[in-house]
A and B are shown apart, each in its own frame.
Chain A
């Protein structure tokens, strides 16, 4: 198998497997976030579960590795791809033959990467390392837990930066949705799980998934911006 990961298909295989893993993660993440709409107790209970569940704890470093492998190989493959055409065309028409997202996966990925850094600083860092005035202990049905709800909603409703953050999060969700619109089918294609029939099905599921994630994650800041 050693030669496998040196080959182009092997390296793309790593991109696909990590990508599919991140796709599953996003679904879990989105499900948890959905509880924001049910108020503070509901969301805090879910966050508390995430914080204390051993499986989630084991998954955290694996998730970090998944992100890193996906990012590192995207850089390696993109550099090779740029080198594969030393002299560029002066006229290069692609609009009719491929989607914009499929041609700009690296750019979309980079934008998501920038968003991810901000996102980690906003939440993960404050929850795990630095703490925050909003991140206090609350009592929900007799159980003491962190007030994650206050931390999350506080960001979007912040008097001075709430609007900026909300826009950044909506943009992040849009980039993510576009990235996913190509990513889903592409990942299955690369691991060989596609054919004439399944391609259409996978593209359909992928687009539906991309819309759910893109719109779903956009609604959260929008909801708090408008209603709170």
Chain B
């Protein structure tokens, strides 16, 4: 276990209307065992003790499952580690005297609320447009009543592991939300229960995505590399297919 000193350049912005600017901070003797967000907590305590405003950032579970956390660290969504969220990033990924630049997710669809906190309700709107299935109420159905192949079940489960963090949008040079939308379409499109509304779903979710100001995917593939859940761009191909077929049907 070692302790390191780091220099930070953090984006500070009073509210959604203000312009915002970078502030420099130093954190001394931080344990490499601590998580990135624990380091931020230490910095915030320091700020509060000095009578300053603490830095606002989103977080909740701190175990990589809720999708609330998300910082753009040294030019990368969720920082310099693969397949982890910001809360799972550890200070051992940094060296003594490193300089770390922290920015909020930057995308027209994710306006900054305060400091490093962005408004990701655009994702909720996309889900409301079609990321659901309709089921009849009544008794609990038999688990084996509808046969589903193992492969389809696995792939749907992989898609369902998307936690809606927004790293795909943040890291995309076009601020495209295609990886997120494709995961949410795939998890349902692969299963018989999701087929009933499949056409409507693909069209409505994509049109919501377009209206909310996200960019157009150019298939660079950066999203799947930075996605903490390793969602594959193969889901984007499926989404395109679903959308094309849905349009051919009318």
Judge: A and B partners, yes or no: yes
**A positions within 8 Å CB-CB of B:** 1, 3-4, 7-13, 77, 80-81, 83-94, 96-99, 102-103, 105, 182, 185-186, 188-196, 199
The interface residues of chain A lying within 8 Å CB-to-CB of B173 are 81, 92, 94, 98, 103
Q: Does B174 count as interface, using CB distance less than 8 angstroms?
A: yes
A161 CB to nearest chain B CB (Å):
36
Report B218-249 residues with CB < 8 Å from chain A CB.
218-222, 225-226, 232-234, 236-244, 247-248
- Chain A to chain B: the 9 pairs with minimum beta-carbon distance, closest first: A192-B241, A84-B215, A93-B75, A91-B75, A97-B225, A98-B220, A81-B174, A84-B175, A97-B222
A-B contact count (CB 8 A): 136
Per a CB cutoff under 8 Å, which of A84, A89, A97, A99 touches B108?
A84
- What is the interface residue range for chain B against chain A? 35 or more
A90-B22, A91-B103 known; A97-B247 Cβ under 8 A: no
6 sampled A-B residue pairs with Cβ under 8 A: A81-B173, A89-B72, A94-B173, A98-B173, A186-B219, A192-B243
> At the interface, is chain B mostly helix, strand, loop or mixed?
mixed
Given A98-B222, A192-B244, A196-B232: A93 touches B74 (CB 8 Å cut-off): yes
Contact indicator B222/A94 (Cβ below 8 Å): yes
Q: Which of B106, B221, B226, B241 is within 8 Å of A89, CB to CB?
A: B106
In chain B, positions 46-99 with a C-beta closer than 8 Å to chain A are 72, 74-76
If A97-B222, A189-B233, A194-B237 touch, does A84 touch B107 (CB 8 Å cutoff)?
yes
Partner of A98, one of B206, B225, B232, B248: B225
**CB contact under 8 A between A90 and B103, given known A8-B217, A98-B225, A190-B219:** yes
Question: Told that A10-B243, A81-B215, A199-B233 touch, could you supply 6 new A-B pairs with CB distance under 8 A?
Answer: A1-B250, A3-B207, A84-B213, A97-B220, A186-B219, A196-B232
